[in-house]
Amino acid sequence: MPATLSSCFTGVESTPPVTSGDVQQALSRAERTAPQPLVETGDSVASWTPGGKRFVVTDNQARLLFSRPTSFDIDTVALQGRTLTFQGYTTGDALTGNDAVTLLFTDGRHDYHYPTGKRLETLGPAYRVPLLIDLDMVAAAHNMLRGRQLWVMTPLWYDPATEQMTRGRQYVPVTVTAVEPGNKVLPLRVIFTVNDSGQRAMLWMNDGTMIMPGRDLQSLFSDSDPRRRHNDINDATWTLITRGELAEGMTKGECRLSRGAPARIVSLPDQGGLRERWLYQGGSYLYFVDGRLTEFRL
In a domain, 265, yes or no: yes
In this structure, is residue 95 part of a structural domain? yes
Report pLDDT digits (tens) over 87-110.
999 998 645 557 899 999 999 999
Which pLDDT score, from 0 to 100, does residue 214 have? 82
Burial label, 211 (beta-carbon count in 10 A; 0-12, 13-18, 19+): middle
Say which residue, 9 or 169, is predicted with more confidence.
169
Distance CA 151, CA 171 (A): 5
Structural domain ending residue among the three candidates 227, 262, 279: 227
- Kindly state whether residues 114 and 238 are assigned to the same domain: no
Query: How many Å apart are CA 63 and CA 166, to the nearest integer?
Result: 33
Contact between 48 and 247 (Cβ < 8 Å): no
Q: Which stretches within 55-181 are classed as H helix? A: 135-145
The model carries a pTM of 0.81
Q: Do 277 and 204 sit in the same domain of this protein?
A: no
Burial class (CB in 10 A: 0-12, 13-18, 19+), 188: buried
- Does residue 50 surpass a pLDDT of 70? yes
Q: 231-255 pLDDT, tens per residue?
A: 999 999 999 999 999 999 999 999 9
pLDDT digits (tens, 9 = 90+) for 150-160: 999 999 999 99
- Please indicate, yes or no, if residue 167 is contained in any of the structural domains: yes
Q: What is the CATH number for 236?
A: 3.30.1450
Question: If we measure between CA atoms, which residue out of 183, 69, 180 comes closest to residue 130?
Answer: 183
Q: How confident is the model at residue 270, as a pLDDT?
A: 75
**247 and 197 in a common domain:** no
Find all residues with CB under 8 Å of 222, minimum gap 6, and list them: 5, 6, 7, 8, 150, 151, 153
- Let me know whether 216 and 245 are in one domain: no
- Do 223 and 143 lie in a common domain? yes
User: Do 34 and 181 sit in the same domain of this protein?
Assistant: yes
Whether 94 and 236 map to the same domain: the answer is: no
Residue 130 lies in a domain: no
- Bridge partners (DSSP) of residue 114 are 103
Give pLDDT, residue 140.
93
Radius of gyration of the chain measured on its C-alpha atoms = 23
110: in domain: yes
191 and 216 inside one domain: yes
What is the tens place of the pLDDT at every residue in 200-220?
A: 999 999 998 776 778 899 999
Helices 235-242 and 252-259: crossing angle, nearest 10°? 30
Helix (H, G, I), strand (E, B) or coil at 228: helix
Domain boundary among 177, 197, 227: 227
Q: Are residues 218 and 148 in the same domain?
A: yes
Using DSSP's 3-state secondary structure scheme, residue 30 falls into helix
149: in domain: yes
Q: How large a percentage of the chain has pLDDT more than 90?
A: 73
Tell me which of 199, 227, 255 is where a domain ends: 227
Three-state DSSP class for residue 213: coil
Domain match, 59 and 105 both: yes
**Which residues form the domain of 63?**
45-124
Whether residue 10 is contained in a domain is answered as no
Do 87 and 66 touch, CB atoms closer than 8 A? Answer: no
pLDDT value of position 96? 54
In a shared domain, residues 33 and 142: yes
pLDDT recorded at residue 35: 63
Cβ atoms of residues 110 and 82 within 8 Å: no
Which pLDDT does position 97 carry in this prediction? 56
**How many domains is the chain partitioned into structurally?**
3
Question: Is the separation of the CB atoms in 278 and 288 below 8 Å?
Answer: yes
Determine how β-strand 275-279 pairs with β-strand 264-267. antiparallel
The pLDDT of 43-65, averaged and rounded, is 94
The values of phi and psi at residue 94, to 5°, are -60, -25
Q: Is residue 8 part of a domain?
A: no
User: Does the pLDDT of residue 41 top 70, yes or no?
Assistant: no
Judged by DSSP in three states, 21 sits in: helix
Based on the domain organization, do 32 and 142 belong to the same domain? Answer: yes
